[in-house]
Amino acid sequence: MTLTRNSNRVFGLLLVLISVFWIWIRPWNSPWQPFIAGDGLGYYSHLPAVFIYGDSELEYKWFNDAHNKNYAYSAFENPEDNLLVQYGDRKINKYYPGLSFAWMPFFFSAHAFASVTDYAADGYSAPYQWAIGLASLFWLIVGLIYLRKLILALTGNDGIAIAVALLIFFGTNLYLFGIFNNTLSHMYSFSVNTMFLYFAHSYFRNAENRTLYFVLAGSALLLTISIRPLNGLIMPAAFAFIPSGFFRSQKLFSGFDKKIVIPIVFSVVLLFWHFYIVSVQTGSFFAYTYTNESFDFAHSKFTDSLFSYHNGLFVYTPLALMSCAGIFFIRSAKQFVIPVLFFVIVFLYASWWYWPITRRALIDFYPLLAIMLALLLGKLSKPALRWMVTVLLLFSVFHFQLKNYQVNKGILSEYSTYSELFWRNYFRTDPANIYPIAPSTILAKEERTESFDGYTGPCKWTDSIAFSQKRALMLDQQWSSCIVSRCRYPELFERNGWRKVRVSFQTFVEDSVNIVNMYLEFRKQDSVVFNVPFYLIRDYINPGKWDYKEFGYEITDTTLINSNTIDEVTFAIWNPAAKGRVFADDVKMEFLLTDRSFETIR
């Protein structure tokens, strides 16, 4: 009992530290990073529609105005396109209402506060943003608490339970979606799915409170399905907890318990809310609201979803791969439902039209990974093996955090990274400029490289500094700009495919330089027909050292840019302020004819 009490204190302190870290690292007042954003606009907007705007038909005609008053930008030219899709002869909010139900207490608190202060009581002003942000922290903490309870119930080892909860948080996308993507559904689904599994396990193992745990498991299952119907796939995992001979020797219920009244009322109100929202919009209680989005099981991206450099779960989250090693320590046939179900879910989401959702959609089912990880940790009896696995687990957390940072900083492209880009930037932390084109998609290619060693052109060069050989281009006060590469318009662009121009070079910029301008120009008889500007701003200059830069452009208007209208493509660099010097070396211009086989957006 002392051990449990001490463990509770330790875990409670860790949760407090996570909360403090969350509050410290998450921007609170940035108009560019609101709490209610992305898919969250759809999940959340059911609440102001019903309780603020009296939108009984759920037509959302008020949404654009409310959005534009509170947001600095929109991902769509028409803000309502964030959530509305065509369904028959009307537009509906495609997002299911379960998450809005989980937010109700926080929404009502924010609305009461806004109503008695100077904040606009419009559903999207600062109090509502803060309230939903705090709701995300609340549900994250709930998820971690129940994950510890679940693993403790399965293993009887509180050390393993705490370790699994911390590893799953810091070593997976739960970290990203728990702290920054506050209104996407995945972290909430993780928490509610974890609660369902804990209550289901308690139902089978606790005869005295069996009725209560049955009702609690049912309430959690209803909520998770209302958030995302596919979350119902978590239900078969409960079969792993059924004791041998349970249905022959055990009573299914323990009798009436007054504690079940609250979860029953919760479930009834949830069902009313869910079916009200769905039926008003679609005319049906059971409607598929994602309209033209579907699965393609014949072309599942199962392997890519696990192993690819651009979106592979195991590549970016090796903790998931280590967790799967727990399969080898499964003690009974029933427990095999856990890994089998996990990989079935991977296959299912990998068959979705927008299959890159797989890596984040799997957050919903991280309790399955956590169980497998706990099985692995429970078998580390030899000290040498324990130390080796501990080192690998810590490395997995470091690797995930580094890759997550690199994706957020543009060093890697989450959906377009390939092996060379991945390994070239493995340890990079400086901001990068990249224009990724997967080698496997290149149908034809022409390129020209200028190292400036035998350079005889008009630009100013120096032999006092160079990246690869003896000379480099220099732009200073006397010579601040120059065309550094000239190439004829390539014949390969007359063939079928997607036409891309990529320019890469090494640059060394002195600290006094704040911006470098570049221009990709399409010319006819030395007159500019079309100009594409690029800018190297202060945050990306990385002064005082050689740094690799990459810029590119895809030609989409072939009536403007073709072999009849263009005869030359040039690339120029300009040091506009000329307060310091800019050096460039190994300038490469590539003309690439590609296909779309690597690209993930429909």
Q: Which domains does the chain have, with CATH numbers?
A: 2-292 (no CATH), 296-429 (no CATH), 433-594 (2.60.120.660)
Band of pLDDT at residue 591, cut at 50, 70 and 90: very high
Question: Do the Cβ atoms of 513 and 474 come closer than 8 Å?
Answer: no
The whole-number pLDDT of residue 600 equals 55
pLDDT value, residue 2: 45
Average pLDDT, the chain: 93
Strand partners for 446: 591
Indicate the pLDDT class of residue 599, thresholds 50, 70 and 90.
Answer: low
Distance CA 137, CA 179 (A): 8
The model's pLDDT over 444-457, given as tens digits with 9 standing for 90+, comes to 999 999 888 887 77
Is the CB of residue 441 less than 8 Å from the CB of residue 594? yes
Type of residue found at 412: L
Report CA 135 to chain centroid distance, whole Å: 19
Three-state DSSP state, 292: coil
pLDDT at 415: 81
* DSSP notation for 124-155: SSHHHHHHHHHHHHHHHHHHHHHHHHHHHHHH
Reported as a single tens digit per residue, the pLDDT across 445-504 is 999 998 888 877 788 889 899 998 889 999 998 889 999 999 999 999 999 999 999 999
Q: What is the CA radius of gyration of the chain?
A: 28
The C-alpha atoms of residue 490 and residue 590 are separated, in whole angstroms, by 10
- Give the pLDDT band (50/70/90) at residue 598: confident
476 to 459, 484, 507, 534, 573: CA distances (angstroms): 11, 15, 14, 19, 11
Task: Taking residues 586-592, report their average pLDDT.
Answer: 96
pTM reported for the whole predicted model = 0.92
Q: Compute how many other C-beta atoms are within 10 angstroms of the C-beta atom of residue 36.
A: 22
Mean pLDDT of 202-208: 91
Please check the confidence at residue 1 and state whether its pLDDT lies above 50: no
260-293: per-residue pLDDT in tens?
A: 999 999 999 999 999 999 999 999 999 999 988 9
Cα separation, 575 vs 404, whole angstroms: 33
Are the beta carbons of 534 and 519 closer than 8 angstroms?
yes
Question: Percent of the chain at pLDDT above 90?
Answer: 83
pLDDT of 602 over the 70 cut = no
402 vs 427: CA distance, rounded Å: 8
Binned at pLDDT 50, 70 and 90, residue 250 comes out as confident
Please tell me the distance from the alpha carbon of residue 134 to that of residue 141, in angstroms, as a whole number: 11
pLDDT of 516-559, one tens digit each? 999 999 999 999 999 999 999 999 999 999 999 999 999 999 99
What would the pLDDT profile of 151-189 be if each residue is shown by its tens digit?
999 999 999 999 999 999 999 999 999 999 999 999 999
